[in-house]
Structure 1
Amino acid sequence: MELHQLQYFVAVAEERNFTRAAERLHVAQPGVSAQVRRLERELGQELLDRSGRSVRLTEVGEAVLPYARAALAAVDGVRYAVDELTGLLRGRVAVGTVTSHSVELPDLLAEFHDAHPAVEITLSEANSDQLIDGLRTGRLDAAIISVGSGTPAGLEIEVVDDQPVVAAVAPAHELAVHPVISLDTLRGRPLISLPRGTGLRTRLDEACAAAGFAPDIAFEASSPEVLAQLAARGLGAAILPGAFAAARGEELRTLTIDPPALRGRLVFAWRAAGPTGPAARALIERARAMLRARPRA
């Protein structure tokens, strides 16, 4: 049994696909398939069910996976111990972020690169649901995501921002004279929102479901700036972070939603358990220190 066989097996198990696992590992797909087959022959059992469109773990594979992850984590631990003793930090860190964020992510990554120039840093952008999945499966080491009042299972967080979720309309909109509206006021009205899977959209969908109706989403866009522009042109009420809407007071009127009061949190998140390399741990520690050192409003 070889270490890279365990690494390939874990990647396929997490990606549910040989091609994606090979891309993640930067190796050829036939090599991944061959090495996993060799591991199965050595163990005398199939670890993966390849009969469907996606690869699934067999019962034996489910039992083996935690031990394979633990073996890889132990190797990372050996490397980390050597790095700590020698003062050399190497490796790779994968970071994700939602489209709009208030944390100084470029500053964080630049400072980290200056301190550890041998570490490869990658940054990708996606919605919160995709980023959370990336953290849980190990594709990402850390990410800035939007969440509600709770912490997603399996993750730890450091709060970046916590503010109300509001509706914003053009000055001529019929709701513009009401600084505070109930969520029910938005029932049946055209709304402008981020797509499904984003934090703000999830907060809206959950609140509307609890109130017994589905929001009428007339326009979707992945950029809050585009949402604000659509609302400013009278196309509906945009669902936005409170501070973002308030900063556009010349073209938008901000409507506080209460009851129920909607709030959204932007957080820096990482996997609570599982293999995390020394480079990722160093980045997480730096990010937490940076966030805790910021002046509180």
Structure 2
Amino acid sequence: MELRQLEYFVAVVEEANFTRAAARVHVAQPGVSAQIRRLERELGHELLDRSGRGVRPTEVGAAVLPYARAALAAVESARLAADEMGGLVRGHLAVGMITSHTVDLPSLLADFHERYPAVEITLTEGESAHLLDDIRTGALDAAIVAVGAQDPDGVALRTITDEAIDAAVALDHPLAGAKSIPLLDLRDHPLITMRPGTGIRSHLESACAATGFTPHVAFEAGTPQLLAQLAVRGLGVAVLPTSIAHNHPGLHPLVITDPSLRGRVALAWRSPGPLNPAARAFLPLFDRN
């Protein structure tokens, strides 16, 4: 059994087509077919069902597939470990980020690329809940996410910012004369807040549920800056990080009380579990910025 046979087998299964698999591994199609036939003879079973329009793994092929993938991953990990010990980091770094945060991630990734040009970098933007799921499944190596008071399961965190979540209204809003507002009083106002799955929205909904009501969300947006603009126009009460609520010239801030709300932005990565060499090189670099 040869590694290239396992590689060709995995490629055919994932592409569901011999021609596409051959192009993927840069080998002529007859060569791919011949190597898989040799693998089947060695194992004594057909691994692929070639009878339909597409190629599918047989029952035996489906059972062999995870072992083939594991063998290929082990070889790649050995190669990366050897490169790392020799001072050469290569491979792939998959990073995620929420829309709004205080980290200059493009500059950080450019710095990382300059230090480790052999590493392929991909960047995904999304909501915290989805990014955390991708970290747990291994689709992402690390991500900048918004989290609450309780650390999410399955990840390690390094806090970037930790600040209160407040309300803010237009300067001519009826609430503009107050300095604070109990959370329960927000029940009577249309709210302007982040989309579901984001940190601020999760904190708000959890606190409202504990207080005994469902918030009336009139407007949703992807960034706190857009929430602020909607509130300036008098469209409702915005729920914002305190740094924006208290520093926007067109808004009057209100401290939310009973209970107060607080949110964190953090760098997250999978834990427990091994990090690939590129991710291990990325985390310390993040600390220095």
Q: Which amino acid aligns with 1:232?
A: V
How much is the aligned-residue C-alpha RMSD, in angstroms? 3.5
| SS of match in other structure, 1:187 | helix
Q: Corresponding residue for 1:263?
A: 262
Question: Cα–Cα, structure 1 residues 243 and 195, in superposed 2: closer, same or farther, change >3 Å?
Answer: same
Larger Rg: 2
Aligned 8 A contact 1:69 1:275 in 2: no
* Map 1:31-110 → 2, pairs under 5 A: 74-110=74-110
| SS of match in other structure, 1:214 | coil
Q: CA offsets per residue over residues 4-34 of structure 1, 9 Å max, x none?
A: 48978xx98xxxxx99xxxxxx969xx9xx9
Aligned 8 A contact 1:193 1:201 in 2: yes
Aligned 8 A contact 1:70 1:275 in 2: no
Which range moves more in the overlay, 149-158 or 266-275? 266-275
Q: Corresponding residue for 1:253?
A: 252
Question: Cα–Cα, structure 1 residues 168 and 71, in superposed 2: closer, same or farther, change >3 Å?
Answer: farther
Q: CA offsets per residue over residues 108-130 of structure 1, 9 Å max, x none?
A: 11111110111111111111111
Counterpart-to-counterpart distance in 1, 2:44 and 2:175? 67
Q: CA offsets per residue over residues 106-151 of structure 1, 9 Å max, x none?
A: 2211111110111111111111111111111111111000000122
* Map 1:219-230 → 2, pairs under 5 A: 219-230=219-230
Counterpart-to-counterpart distance in 2, 1:7 and 1:276? 24
Q: Is 1:216 aligned to residue 208 of structure 2?
A: no
Q: Corresponding residue for 1:281?
A: 280
Question: Cα–Cα, structure 1 residues 266 and 235, in superposed 2: closer, same or farther, change >3 Å?
Answer: same
Counterpart-to-counterpart distance in 2, 1:217 and 1:112? 40
- 1:152 to partner: Cα distance: 1.2
- 1:70 to partner: Cα distance: 6.9
Aligned 8 A contact 1:73 1:274 in 2: no
Counterpart-to-counterpart distance in 2, 1:126 and 1:151? 19
* Map 1:14-29 → 2, pairs under 5 A: none
Q: Is 1:140 aligned to residue 140 of structure 2?
A: yes
Counterpart-to-counterpart distance in 2, 1:244 and 1:7? 50
- For structure 2, which runs of at least 5 residues remain unmatched after alignment? 17-22, 48-61
Question: Cα–Cα, structure 1 residues 274 and 170, in superposed 2: closer, same or farther, change >3 Å?
Answer: same
Q: Corresponding residue for 2:52?
A: none
Q: Corresponding residue for 1:152?
A: 152
| SS of match in other structure, 2:176 | coil
- For structure 1, which runs of at least 5 residues remain unmatched after alignment? 13-17, 20-25, 47-60, 292-297
Q: Corresponding residue for 1:195?
A: 195
Alignment length (residue pairs): 258
TM-score, with normalisation over the residues of structure 1?
0.75
Q: Corresponding residue for 1:206?
A: 206
Q: Is 1:169 aligned to residue 155 of structure 2?
A: no
Aligned 8 A contact 1:89 1:119 in 2: yes
Aligned 8 A contact 2:167 2:253 in 1: yes
Q: CA offsets per residue over residues 170-219 of structure 1, 9 Å max, x none?
A: 01111111111110010131000111001110000100011111000001
Counterpart-to-counterpart distance in 1, 2:171 and 2:78? 62
